[in-house]
Amino acid sequence: MGQQLSTCKTSITDLGSKNMEFLSNYQVPESLKLSSNTVRLTIIAVPITTIVLLNVFKNRYMATLCHRLESSLKKQFDAHKDKLFANLKDIQVDQLPGKRRPCLLEIGSGTGTNFDYFDRYISGPYDLIVVDTNPCMKPYLEEKIHQHEQANLLRYIESPAEDLSAVNSNSVDAVISTLVLCSTNDNSKVISEIKRILVPGGRFLCLEHVVSDFGTVTHLAQTLFRLPFKYALATGCDMKRRIWEDIESGGFSEFKYDKLYMYSKSITLIYINPYLLGVARK
């Protein structure tokens, strides 16, 4: 029995030695070898592909979230939006050159939650240009636009608000921005583009959340949660922006605004307050 075990151990040892010798002498076929260029491309492609997939997921997530939150957000902001969009009543078709239709442009249109207000305060048909960076919002927006007979969707532009080059200068009667300027990359460029495309006397209507006064509990919360909220939770939303200063330095002939606080059971309002309700005129 001992002799058999010894023979077995010897066989296993010999087999291991032969396997090691085989592996050390094994040559990978040329067809299976990865060139240095392939390795480099793989190293580059993997993170890029990951970023693209994450961006697609983020866009779909945000579009779905905005769609599901429409009714609750409308209740929360309805009174303030009603006050803001009442400024559209001054755009009268019979006062426009050639009696053309009014033209509105909304940046960050999302799922089209503001279309109801446009219909409410503009008498008659109007042209609408929508600008958004998220292509996943478009199906919801197109479904919404079919419910508004007054609106003629002139153009859907997939672009950041900093680049409105697809829109002619002095061609838009009113530009609308609600809860958008908190997440743009360069508000000075956004404001400059808005002013460029507005007709003389045209209006820029905005409802945006801004930084709270220093020394308040809200300001402390904004300071503590600013970075995690911006980069992890809210796709670039910055809670501490002084948007009224961006608009004041934009060269408008007039800018009137109010800061208002909203009260709700929602915990987010601990650090997303106050709100800027403003109208600027070119």
User: Does the pLDDT of residue 169 top 90, yes or no?
Assistant: yes
Quote the pLDDT of residue 253: 96
Mean pLDDT: which of 14-18, 58-62, 127-131 is highest? 127-131
Share the mean pLDDT of the chain. 80
pLDDT level of residue 231 (50, 70, 90 thresholds):
confident
Strand partners, 258: 277
Among 9-23, 168-182, 238-252, the minimum mean pLDDT is found in: 9-23
Quote the pLDDT of residue 89: 87
Residue owning tokens 């070898």: 33
User: Does the pLDDT of residue 130 top 80, yes or no?
Assistant: yes
Mean pLDDT: which of 90-99, 199-208, 255-264 is highest? 199-208
Quote the pLDDT of residue 123: 83
Q: Average pLDDT in the 50-68 region?
A: 62
- CA-CA distances (angstroms) from residue 154 to 130, 167, 177, 252? 8, 11, 18, 26
Residue owning tokens 């008498």: 123
CA dist., res. 269 & res. 248, Å (int): 26
The CA-based dihedral angle spanning residues 152, 157, 158, 160, taken in that order and rounded to the nearest 10 degrees: -120
> Tens digit of pLDDT for each residue in 2-22?
444 344 444 445 544 554 554
Which pair of structure tokens corresponds to residue 189? 């460029």
pLDDT level of residue 201 (50, 70, 90 thresholds):
very high
Amino acid identity, residue 77? F
pTM: 0.77
Quote the pLDDT of residue 15: 47
Mean pLDDT: which of 173-187, 211-225, 233-247, 252-266 is highest? 173-187
User: Does the pLDDT of residue 271 top 80, yes or no?
Assistant: no
User: Does the pLDDT of residue 94 top 70, yes or no?
Assistant: no
> Tens digit of pLDDT for each residue in 145-161?
889 989 999 999 999 99
